[in-house]
Structure 1
Amino acid sequence: MFALRSDRGRGSADGGVVLPRWLRKPARMLGRVRFDEIRPPRFAATMATAALFALTAVYGVVEGGHSEAVLTAVTSRVGFAINHVEIAGNNHTSEIDILQQIGLDGWTSMVGFDVRSARERIAELPWVESVAVQKVYPATLAVTIVEKKPFALWQQGSQLAVIEENGEVIAPFSGGRLATLPLVIGMGANEKGPKLVAQVQQVRGLRGRVKAYIRVADRRWDLRLDNGLTIKLPETDVEAALAEASRLDAEYQLFSRDVTSIDLRIPDRMAVALGPDAMKAREEMLKEMKAERRRGARI
């Protein structure tokens, strides 16, 4: 570093001062100032005192951890308070529940609002799969929700819940348009039911007619049709049993006859339980056949 020696140094023992290069220009400018001609403005002392108090207050707010609260209060009162929330994508989640999770108080500031925390709180709602929360300045909060997809209703005892296709429970069933969903009943039905529902929906004669899928002892299934008919399926080879049931219905209109149950649990064999009217007609037919035999024996 180069240095210059000045002959105009004041108070120097050898009459000169060696200055670094970066200080030479500021030193020359300072040397031209006549401090005896400077006149302070009126109320300079008052303004200096006020500035000191203001800086002290700011220091206290920062050191005390209140800077966020002060920032929120100030910005909310100068036009940055959240006064509008736009919610999209909610079909089963009420707007009231979403607003409660957001936690607005009427003076919540856009500047100090914690988007991540709000997103985490909204994600706790039962129907919410994912959520995005965005600030739209100056005073709007945009909330976009992706909800879980209901697949079926699961009845366990007296409890009824809405489940996803993977069997996970979404929320208790509260009625409404979800009543048209397939109903799976019994222990383990929530986990194993979706696969059977998908199979049955591909079977001719059964598609759209099964009102309940009943899990029996967590081993096999009964199908309850819309006319009250029960089809008892085996533990294994369910697909073959469903195909056989479809064939019998196509050939004999079995699902529309006066029968209460069709038992397909035994391979290569089917048992049919008749309804009251069909049973009565069968008994009368058997009586008539016995009477014919008696008349034939007498002859």
Structure 2
Amino acid sequence: MIAVLRLLGWLLAVALVALPVVAVLNGWIGAGRWPLTKLRATGEFERVDTALLRRTLLPYARSGFFAVDLDAAQVAVAKLPWVEHAEVRKRWPDVLEVRVTEHRPFARWGRDRVLSEQGRLFAAKGVDLPPGLPHFSGPTTRISDVVALYNDATALFAPTGMPVRVVELDARGSWTLALDNGTEVVVGRNEARARMARFVRLMPQLVAQPTQRLVRADLRYTNGFALSWQPVPAAERPLNPTPSPAAAVPRSQGQT
């Protein structure tokens, strides 16, 4: 009997010590005594809405220093538009600190997503994107291949003064580009860089035609290209066009 009473007394003593600690850690008491009254945000803020960031963190700060759920706060911040990564900490005695890394847009992806410079996709809904981003599409498992092809194409077409605006990779692994002037370039599946390089060498002659505009080039031929032209309206033609040699573009029958 005495042993039981001693055990009960020991348990009561532990409970009297532990319950206040549990109450503080859960925010049942002490939130007003140890409040988090300051929010410190670090990082380069260009697109993250700081007012929205503050509203998101406020409910967690109300729990007080000891009871704030940092993991939940971090998850909530990471869901905000333009946030790539978030880290939430507390600093004694009253500071809730958040460090935010923003997405840096590299290209549009498909209809409703954006590819960041870090190679991550995020939703484009509600996001004000900078103008002039290239547009990519393809299987998400091939992101690195799409970026690599875009970089190759950008370097190759740079001397022509016509930037690459669209890169598409279809389900069969075939590449298609669109240039800044609207020309569609069908590259195909094989030897993409070699085909583009061969085509770029003829570009000065092709775009110098005063009465015709190149609208499509199919590079999927062994010995040349298939070209589609559109007449240039008379009002858009130069008054004194400079004659240019016709481009020789033999075409074989086999496509790859």
* TM-score in same-fold range (> 0.5): yes
Provide Cα deviations, 1:238-281, integer angstroms capped at 9, x if missing partner. Answer: 0111111221124x2x2454111122110221122111239xxx
Matching residue within 165, 169, 182 for 2:134: 182
Matching residue within 4, 26, 30 for 1:72: 30
C-alpha distance in 1 between matches for 2:98 and 2:21:
33
Aligned length: 215
TM (norm. structure 1) is 0.59
Q: Do 2:136 and 2:167's aligned partners in 1 also have CA atoms closer than 8 Å?
A: yes
Sequence identity, in percent? Answer: 22
* 1:94 counterpart residue number: 49
Matching residue within 253, 263, 276 for 2:231: 276
Give the SS at the match of 1:110: coil
Structure 1 residue 234, shift from structure 2 partner: 2.3
Provide Cα deviations, 1:164-194, integer angstroms capped at 9, x if missing partner. Answer: 3575422225453434221013555962421
* 2:182 counterpart residue number: 228
C-alpha distance in 2 between matches for 1:176 and 1:255:
34
Structure 1 residue 208, shift from structure 2 partner: 5.9
Give the SS at the match of 2:168: strand
Q: 1:64 to 1:244 in 2, by over 3 A?
A: closer
C-alpha distance in 1 between matches for 2:160 and 2:146:
16
Say if 2:101 is the partner of 1:146.
Answer: yes
Structure 1 residue 205, shift from structure 2 partner: 3.3
Say if 2:195 is the partner of 1:195.
Answer: no
* 1:4 counterpart residue number: none
Structure 1 residue 86, shift from structure 2 partner: 2.1
TM (norm. structure 2) is 0.67
Return the structure number with greater helix share. Answer: 1
Say if 2:73 is the partner of 1:118.
Answer: yes
Matching residue within 194, 198, 202 for 1:240: 194
Q: Do 2:214 and 2:230's aligned partners in 1 also have CA atoms closer than 8 Å?
A: yes
Q: Do 1:185 and 1:215's aligned partners in 2 also have CA atoms closer than 8 Å?
A: yes
Matching residue within 108, 112, 115 for 1:163: 115
Q: Do 1:222 and 1:230's aligned partners in 2 also have CA atoms closer than 8 Å?
A: yes
Structure 1 residue 112, shift from structure 2 partner: 3.3
The more displaced of 209-218 and 184-193 is 184-193
- Structure 2 unmatched ranges of 5 or more: 1-11, 234-256
- Structure 1 unmatched ranges of 5 or more: 1-54, 279-299
Provide Cα deviations, 1:56-95, integer angstroms capped at 9, x if missing partner. Answer: 9x9399189534334423xx24xx4222212222434333
Q: CA RMSD in A?
A: 3.5
Q: 1:256 to 1:100 in 2, by over 3 A?
A: farther
The correspondence of residues 46-85 of structure 1 with structure 2, limited to 5 A, is: 59=16, 62=19, 66-68=23-25, 69-73=27-31, 76-77=32-33, 80-85=34-39
Larger Rg, first or second structure (1 or 2): 1
Give the SS at the match of 2:151: helix
The correspondence of residues 124-139 of structure 1 with structure 2, limited to 5 A, is: 124-125=79-80, 127-139=82-94
Q: 1:98 to 1:70 in 2, by over 3 A?
A: same
Q: Do 1:264 and 1:271's aligned partners in 2 also have CA atoms closer than 8 Å?
A: yes
